[in-house]
């Protein structure tokens, strides 16, 4: 017995014409399996030879076409909603309905040698912000964040209270806060 070979291929997408598959080319092969789309019910019907299967046997073979459409639509919606958190906000302007904010910051405490910059970059990117972060010679971390006001406020709170898991934040200073017409950075960078 050889692999299943298509006898007549249906057109791309859903077809309304019958198509068959058969196994091998010997005389003792199994009967041909026919499938057709029943437009009124929106299901594929499987039958052997020219006789349709009895409803009790063929019921499990009926595949509702609309279920495939709904599943595909659900996957599309899910993909688009998850993409919104990944797409960077570069190029946004106030004309598009976003109030963009730029804020400089400096964080005091045990913030060097505890991956503070790496966690800051990751949190900024997660929130869709751009900017930069760097260590200073005074043992602090400083930088700039830019993006929509709501996301900037969330990031400010994160910088004041959370930081990296091993950090200890004593104080956070925010200064040079201003509304900007367009983002000045393309990414969130760690400056060395």
The catalytic residues are 117, 135
Q: Are 151 and 116 in contact (CB under 8 A)?
A: no
Query: How deeply is 111 buried, as exposed, middle or buried, from its count of CB atoms within 10 A (0-12, 13-18, 19+)?
Result: buried
How many helices (H) does the chain have, and how many strands (E)? Answer: 4, 11
Tell whether the torsion through CA atoms of 154, 159, 160 and 163 is positive or negative. Answer: positive
């Amino acid at each position: 017995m050889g692999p299943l070979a298509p006898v007549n291929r249906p057109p791309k997408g859903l077809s309304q014409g019958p198509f068959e598959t058969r196994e091998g080319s010997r005389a003792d092969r199994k009967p041909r399996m026919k499938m057709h789309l029943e437009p009124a019910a929106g299901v594929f019907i499987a039958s052997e030879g020219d006789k349709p299967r009895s409803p009790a046997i063929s019921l499990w073979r009926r595949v509702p076409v609309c279920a495939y459409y709904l599943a595909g639509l659900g996957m599309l919606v899910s993909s688009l909603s998850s993409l919104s958190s990944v797409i960077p906000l570069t190029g946004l302007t106030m004309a598009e309905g976003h109030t963009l904010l730029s804020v400089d910051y400096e964080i005091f405490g045990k913030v060097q040698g505890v991956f503070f910059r790496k966690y800051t970059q990751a949190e900024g990117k997660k929130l869709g912000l751009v900017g930069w972060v760097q260590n200073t010679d005074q043992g602090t971390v400083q930088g700039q964040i830019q993006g929509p006001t709501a996301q900037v406020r969330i990031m400010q709170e994160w910088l004041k209270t959370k930081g990296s898991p091993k950090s200890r934040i004593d104080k956070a200073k925010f200064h040079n806060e201003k509304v900007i017409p367009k983002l000045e950075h393309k990414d969130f960078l760690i400056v060395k």
